[in-house]
Structure 1
């Protein structure tokens, strides 16, 4: 593995964010079902993918605004698909975003470990992606489903929402700190260090 900043493919990130939303939509009380849900979620996957690919080469100053818009898209998909309040949609959007960051980072860390700086067969790459994303999101679904009542609502209050916002911001800030500066006790200088920090914090 080379000592350069790791760059998770934006399509991988978009897929992780979309799948994280689908996980929560599947266990919440739904506003949409059937072809309406399929059409809406499929459209969001396309828009999310195009958006993240087009913003890939923006200067670092636009990175935070870009992520805020991405979370906004996740919020919109969850809120439009489920029969929940705006507060609840915000709560689950943050949880989904952190889950997506974890899975995307984990997959790319494993990918980079086996890649060792060399190109590998596209089929192997795809199988690794499917295996890690599939297993990771299945485990997240199992864990989260245990905490959602049968009626598919948690009745989140402002206290739970804001505590989740603070935790989400802290996780995002520390896990991505190395991309901004290496001059902190929680940053890394090398690709392997940065991936370790990002995956473990997430």
Structure 2
């Protein structure tokens, strides 16, 4: 039976719980954000610092005890911040979670300890120490398995001020309510019996952790929906560009064929040298507007023709060797997403190159071992801006830009493929690999083997 007067959690265990709670989130974040070596060094310094601060807080008068806990929170923040290299808002957001988690696990273990070991003042026997290891290992390990699914991979948290304030408010409210009975038993929210106080603390800490977990789940869901919406907008924009280009090219082609007949009639009426020269010049200028790509895929022909016209306006040379028949299994929107975004990014990057001999874009599309290989290259003398494995936009409005490559990756993965990029010998190379659907491989290999033809 648990007596009414129970010993409080040993300060060493509280400091250990805070250290373990930090590790739970660091093992989620550090492999994607920073160096494990930095985490090991910071962890080696944080453990004695947190335990020492708890021991010092235990020696303080009760009125100064909140200051000791505040100092522990600062140490936890420093541990997270130094280990991850994250922003202050991201580190503060994680620290709020570590505080509540540490309080919950420490309270849960101590409540069970007092029940099974008759309120022993501290775990001293091998069995009691083993129980500490078991309780902390199961609790923190289980939380780690749950939490790692709700944190973004290869990306910062990007916690906003409102989200940070909410998490801090939840953490502070949880801490105050769970420890209120230890400060005063005369408030309407305080317990008066030992077992009751322990139960209130554990339950309040659990509620606080659940609230923070729900907040992160909502954040991730909202972020995923926003990203999918942005990618969908990019896809639709590329599709609209394709439709507009197709209409324009069709209209030009009709005009071209009509003018060819008109020119033939005019040419038959007479043969003045000046008229002949004028008509030859007119015919040449009109011929330039005809759709001159014949890859075996009408959608790709339109995209290459429109992008080639844009390149010509900007003094950029676009060369393409493409077996368009290999794309027969892909939808119109997906083809426009892959090639439209890839070429738009290449054109934008090449437009900043001043040397006219290096204003080049090369595109290759071919089939190899039932795999569609797409390679887009452009000269790139600068440095890639990469954050956590993702190429980031250099535009100031990062919320509305930078989704071109994400759209390409999303489309490739839709077909079980992948996308990679990098800089080699001063050239930026975007590689897209997509497995061909069964039944299209043979058709593609027997179609146009010569690549893209220009007429």
Q: Considering fraction of residues, name the structure with more helix.
A: 1
Counterpart CA distance in 1 for 2:53 and 2:83 is 21
Compare 42-51 and 105-114 and name the one that shifted more: 42-51
User: Is this contact kept in 1: 2:56–2:68, CA < 8 A?
Assistant: no
Report the TM-score, using the length of structure 2 for normalisation: 0.43
Aligned to 1:110: 112
Extract unaligned runs of 5+ from structure 1.
none
Aligned to 1:76: 78
Give how far 1:82 is off.
0.3
Give how far 1:18 is off.
0.3
Counterparts in 2 of 1:186 and 1:117: CA distance versus 1, 3 Å? same
SS at match of 1:176: helix
Counterpart CA distance in 2 for 1:169 and 1:108 is 21
SS at match of 2:138: helix
Give how far 1:152 is off.
4.8
Aligned to 2:26: 25
Query: Is 1:169 matched up with 2:172?
Result: yes
Aligned to 2:9: 8
Counterparts in 2 of 1:91 and 1:118: CA distance versus 1, 3 Å? closer
Report the TM-score, using the length of structure 1 for normalisation: 0.94
SS at match of 2:58: coil
Query: Is 1:140 matched up with 2:120?
Result: no
Asked which structure has the greater CA Rg, the reply is 2
Q: Where does 1:1-202 land on structure 2 (aligned, <5 Å)? A: 1-28=2-29, 29-34=32-37, 36-117=38-119, 122-202=125-205
User: Is this contact kept in 2: 1:27–1:152, CA < 8 A?
Assistant: no
Counterpart CA distance in 2 for 1:142 and 1:94 is 19
Runs of 4 or more consecutive aligned structure 1 residues displaced over 6 Å after TM superposition:
none
Counterpart CA distance in 2 for 1:55 and 1:173 is 16
Compare 90-99 and 139-148 and name the one that shifted more: 139-148
The number of equivalent residue pairs is 201
Extract unaligned runs of 5+ from structure 2.
206-455
Q: Considering fraction of residues, name the structure with more strand.
A: 2
User: Is this contact kept in 1: 2:81–2:88, CA < 8 A?
Assistant: yes
